[in-house]
A and B are shown apart, each in its own frame.
Chain A
Amino acid sequence: MRTELARLSPTEASFEDISATLQARLTEFVRLARTNQYKVGVAELLQVQSAILLIDPFNIRELRSLLKTTLCSELRDWQRFDELFDSYWQPLRTKKTLRSSMGSQNALTKTSANETGAKSERSGQADEAASGGSDESTGEGYREGASRTTTLEKIDFGSITDPEQMRAMELEVERIARLMRKRLSRRSRLDSRGTKIDLRKTLRTSLRYGGETFELARKKNKARQPRLMLVLDVSRSMSMYSFLFLRFARGLSTLFRDSSVFAFHTQLIPITDALRQSNLARVRNSLAMMSQGWSGGTQIGEALTQLQNRYGSWINSRTLTVIVSDGFDTGEAEKMSDAMRSLSQKSRRILWINPLLGRDGYQAETAGMKAALPWIDSFVGAHNLETLRQLDREFARLA
């Protein structure tokens, strides 16, 4: 088949040149990828259908490589591709949990199946590939089989008990934070009211006056990146989330040039330097040693007052204050309200991330949360990766 197909360039060949079954299976696989959140559509399908002419579709390695290179568009796709591929094209090789979801019909046209000994292995693989069903009913099953990694997206941070899953989650959380950085651009923009002269544009304009400079083009610098101040609640009620948000904080703080991070429960502790340590478990231990109150009660109002008293110089009109807390406060609501009012007057914006928000049935009805709400610019939930990713927009909006 390869030799026949190799003579044809993708543009010369029509789809009839390739086995209709193979095309159908490719279509189905692309659809399967799509249901597994791969960003693929008709364009990718056409690309795969034409590129299949370049390879030997009975060679599982070549087929895998083609589909992987063409259908993946980011690391997340890449990491879970082999599982998806095997579940569809090599169901016999995949784990039992996946195999149960496989149907079996529509064999590929096996033109190369009986040629040589070397090829027999190939065709064996092709047989396996061919036996991975193609009926509509199997679609759901594949999604189920290939979704082990994708489900990480929707798992509530508070419900993870598997250490391996926790590790994967931590890495992802930190990665999201790194991607979230609103980048400071040094680039200046043309602006008629700008303070600097843009020489290039001025020269360009002068050409129409025969080289005489009549008009000055001006530019001004783009808005500066905000100063980031992260305040993390590490009290007992947040213990399921605090470690993940510690990683999140580390991801953000390493990329924001101007950032500071604080942890609080009954007291406030600056942890910016501690976060720079590479071993976060050690950070957590040292934090625990620094304070007896780790995972103890919460006095948010008191902590925010301490923040302004001790680190007041840090808070100004450029500061984006991000508070991560569930709002369970054992202190007085009035103190909370006062602290928040004064913080909102000093800061540029306040973003409150409440990991409980977004859970079914949760409403911000604690006294502390109610007292804080009027002073918050944006109140968002982040209890799983999916919602954490959406914080990107909030950061961009507030910054």
Chain B
Amino acid sequence: MTEAIDTFDQFGQRLQSAGYIADSELSSALWLFHKMQRPLLLEGDAGVGKTEIAKVLSKVFDCPLIRLQCYEGLDLNAAVYEWNYQQQLLAIRTAEADQANQRAELEIFSRKFLMERPLLAAISQNRSPVLLIDEIDRADEEFEAFLLEVLSDFQISIPELGTVSATHKPFVILTSNGTRQLSDALRRRCLFHYVDYPSFDKELRIISTRLPEVGIRLARQIVGFVQDLRKRDLVKRPGIAETLDWAAALMHLQVESIDQDLNLLRSSMLCLLKTQEDASSLEDFEIERLVARAI
């Protein structure tokens, strides 16, 4: 870390200077996460910026980011470590050829033949990294149970080598889209923050920061439109990334106000509505109504 961060507000400013607009509740939670160094579970719909938080924290803490993307069937070999079988076999053959070297068989289970995967890599760093365990709800329950040992003791048992303990405790961020109920045991090991869709002001600040060339008038219209759109019963509500894409698209289409050309607006909305059901459920008069409310 470059310098001490003493207050919630200072932390918020640091996040902002690293390019992330956080509301006070989130910056408080992240400040506590930083001070307490307990794993933080971030829950929220896809597209609200959960993964981005981990990325920006690695910038703020000036440390490496190690990411473990979870999926169904993720196992310890892909998440923790794996022995390098080819090298081990080669070592055995070499030892057989070289009669003098009788100790080779003892050494094939040493760190030299161990391939570190994200979890082991995270606890073997020289300084505390940010470890992002992304979409933990996609992983199997068995993997979740294994994570408990890592998250409570920050150590990993390798039968052939013994227990590897963290030299520097990583900052662990877990994200979940809530598609599966996580176990209470895992939840109780973590701090918790629910990342909701941004408020009008926050979303406006995000657009103004990321795409200043859009202009404040159009940005206000865009945010107003998207905020209203999210209140509809959609299969996939547009996240922040979708708002930014749409803003960029409108800018490139040289739209100055969203009521300028409704046909153009409708075609540009493919940036916002990502399923056929959502796209077809929005009638023209409803778009007009949303536009009228936004301008």
Question: A residues within 8 Å of B by Cβ?
Answer: 6, 39, 43-44, 47, 51, 54-55, 61-62, 65-66, 68-70, 72-75, 77-79, 175, 178-179, 181, 183-187, 200, 203-204, 206-207, 210-211, 254-255, 276-280, 392
**What separation, in Å, do the CA atoms of A188 and B106 have in the docked complex?**
32
Q: Is the CB of A62 within 8 A of B179?
A: no
Give me 8 other A-B pairs in contact (C-beta within 8 A), A47-B38, A276-B277, A278-B281 excluded.
A69-B40, A69-B193, A181-B180, A185-B140, A187-B73, A200-B85, A207-B88, A278-B235
Chain B, residues 75-110, CB within 8 Å of chain A (1/0): the string is 101000001010011001100100000000000100
Interface residues of B in 36-74 (CB under 8 A from A): 36, 38, 40-41, 43, 72-73
Q: B50 to nearest A CB, angstroms? A: 13
Q: A251 to nearest B CB, angstroms? A: 11
B249 touches A (CB below 8 Å):
no
Given A179-B178, A207-B88, A69 and B191 contact (CB-CB distance below 8 Å): yes
Interfacial chain A residues near B190, Cβ < 8 Å: 73
B32 touches A (CB below 8 Å):
yes
A183 CB contact (under 8 Å) in B36, B43, B72, B281: B72
**What separation, in Å, do the CA atoms of A47 and B33 have in the docked complex?**
12
Q: Is the CB of B232 within 8 A of A211?
A: no
Q: Is the CB of B36 within 8 A of A39?
A: no
Q: Is the CB of A51 within 8 A of B179?
A: no
B188 touches A (CB below 8 Å):
yes
Instruction: Identify which of A69, A77, A183, A255 gathers the most chain B CB atoms within 10 Å of its CB.
Output: A69
Q: Is the CB of B184 within 8 A of A39?
A: yes
Q: Is the CB of A65 within 8 A of B234?
A: no
Chain B, interface size category, equals 35 or more
For B141, give the chain A residue with the smallest CB separation.
Answer: A183
Given A179-B178, A187-B140, A210 and B92 contact (CB-CB distance below 8 Å): yes
Chain B, residues 20-45, CB within 8 Å of chain A (1/0): the string is 00001100110011011010110100
Given A74-B43, A187-B140, A278-B281, A211 and B92 contact (CB-CB distance below 8 Å): yes
Given A62-B28, A73-B192, A255-B179, A210 and B73 contact (CB-CB distance below 8 Å): no
A39 CB contact (under 8 Å) in B92, B181, B187: B187
Q: Is the CB of B188 within 8 A of A179?
A: no
Q: B16 to nearest A CB, angstroms? A: 18
Interfacial chain B residues near A79, Cβ < 8 Å: 194
Q: Is the CB of A65 within 8 A of B8?
A: yes
Interfacial chain A residues near B24, Cβ < 8 Å: 61
Given A179-B180, A278-B278, A207 and B108 contact (CB-CB distance below 8 Å): yes
Some 16 contacts from A to B, beta carbons below 8 A apart, are: A39-B187, A39-B188, A51-B36, A66-B28, A69-B192, A73-B184, A73-B187, A73-B188, A77-B192, A183-B180, A187-B75, A255-B179, A278-B232, A278-B233, A279-B233, A279-B281
A185 CB contact (under 8 Å) in B33, B73, B77, B83: B73
For A10, give the chain B residue with the smallest CB separation.
Answer: B36
For A78, give the chain B residue with the smallest CB separation.
Answer: B194
Q: Is the CB of A204 within 8 A of B72?
A: no
**What separation, in Å, do the CA atoms of A249 and B220 have in the docked complex?**
38
Q: A259 to nearest B CB, angstroms? A: 16
B178 CB contact (under 8 Å) in A66, A75, A204, A276: A75
Q: Is the CB of B85 within 8 A of A207?
A: yes
For B193, give the chain A residue with the smallest CB separation.
Answer: A69
Interfacial chain B residues near A74, Cβ < 8 Å: 43, 187, 192
Q: Is the CB of B277 within 8 A of A278?
A: yes
- Top 3 closest A-B pairs, CB basis? A187-B73, A65-B28, A73-B187
A207 CB contact (under 8 Å) in B43, B89, B232: B89
Q: B91 to nearest A CB, angstroms? A: 10
Q: Is the CB of B25 within 8 A of A65?
A: yes
Q: B289 to nearest A CB, angstroms? A: 15
Q: Is the CB of A204 within 8 A of B192?
A: no
Given A51-B36, A185-B140, A276-B277, A204 and B83 contact (CB-CB distance below 8 Å): yes
Q: Is the CB of A65 within 8 A of B89?
A: no
Interfacial chain B residues near A187, Cβ < 8 Å: 72-73, 75, 140
**What separation, in Å, do the CA atoms of A96 and B277 have in the docked complex?**
45
For A44, give the chain B residue with the smallest CB separation.
Answer: B188
For B38, give the chain A residue with the smallest CB separation.
Answer: A47
Interfacial chain A residues near B25, Cβ < 8 Å: 65, 68
Q: Is the CB of B89 within 8 A of A211?
A: yes
For A55, give the chain B residue with the smallest CB separation.
Answer: B32
Interfacial chain A residues near B179, Cβ < 8 Å: 178-179, 181, 255
For A53, give the chain B residue with the smallest CB separation.
Answer: B35
**What separation, in Å, do the CA atoms of A62 and B32 have in the docked complex?**
9
For B96, give the chain A residue with the smallest CB separation.
Answer: A210
Q: Is the CB of B277 within 8 A of A51?
A: no
Interfacial chain A residues near B72, Cβ < 8 Å: 183-187
Q: Is the CB of B281 within 8 A of A72?
A: no
**What separation, in Å, do the CA atoms of A68 and B191 have in the docked complex?**
9
A65 CB contact (under 8 Å) in B32, B96, B194: B32
Q: Is the CB of A69 within 8 A of B96?
A: no
Interfacial chain B residues near A186, Cβ < 8 Å: 72-73
Q: B19 to nearest A CB, angstroms? A: 23
B92 CB contact (under 8 Å) in A73, A207, A277: A207
**What separation, in Å, do the CA atoms of A323 and B93 have in the docked complex?**
63
Interfacial chain B residues near A179, Cβ < 8 Å: 178-181
